[in-house]
Amino acid sequence: MARPIPFARTSQAARARRNRALLLPMPRAEADRLALQAHVALDAMRLGHGSATAAQTLCQVMILTGLLAEAGYAEATFEQMREAEGVICAAFDRGRESGTWLLEKEGFQQFAVIVTTYDAQLRRAPLAVIADASDRLERFRGGDSFEHRKRA
């Protein structure tokens, strides 16, 4: 009887497994954890019990949702994102001035759609696409533009 090739032990096999994993959606438990953070932040902001951290979470979710939509994993218009940006900026201003971190009813409804879309994107988009969007967000936070960069 022929012995199988020890493919699983080679670095080529490890690369193949990693590349294959990047084509699949992220593990369900991780997607659930990320989605739960967004839903908790949204609920806290709805109830007026938010914080700068909750507002920042929603801002990042808004940006990631837009980037993932741009990659073809949902529909979001530039105008929708512009309106949501205004809503979260107003929440930041109000929170810093008064200490009350909250989304008004219309703002909550806008962000409920965004968070629900983000939740679905986490379950559907390949891990490589999510990682690229996350990298783009981190570069933006560091002062760069949202433009794509080739990975080395």
Q: What is the pLDDT of residue 151?
A: 47
Rounded to whole angstroms, the Cα distance separating 16 from 32 reads: 26
Q: pLDDT per residue over 5-16, tens digit each? A: 455 556 665 566
The number of residues making up the chain comes to 152
DSSP SS3 for 126: strand
Give the pLDDT of residue 17.
Answer: 62
pLDDT of residue 12: 63
The pLDDT of residue 150 is 46
Given a contact cutoff of 8 angstroms between Cβ atoms, the answer to whether 67 and 133 are in contact is: yes
Question: DSSP string spanning 91-131?
Answer: HHHHHHHHS-----HHHHHHHHHHHHHHHHHHHHSBHHHHH
Note the pLDDT of residue 152: 41
Stretches in the chain below the pLDDT threshold 70: 1-19, 21, 145-152
DSSP per position, 26-42 = PPHHHHHHHHHHHHHHH
Res 140: pLDDT: 87
Whole-model pTM: value is 0.81
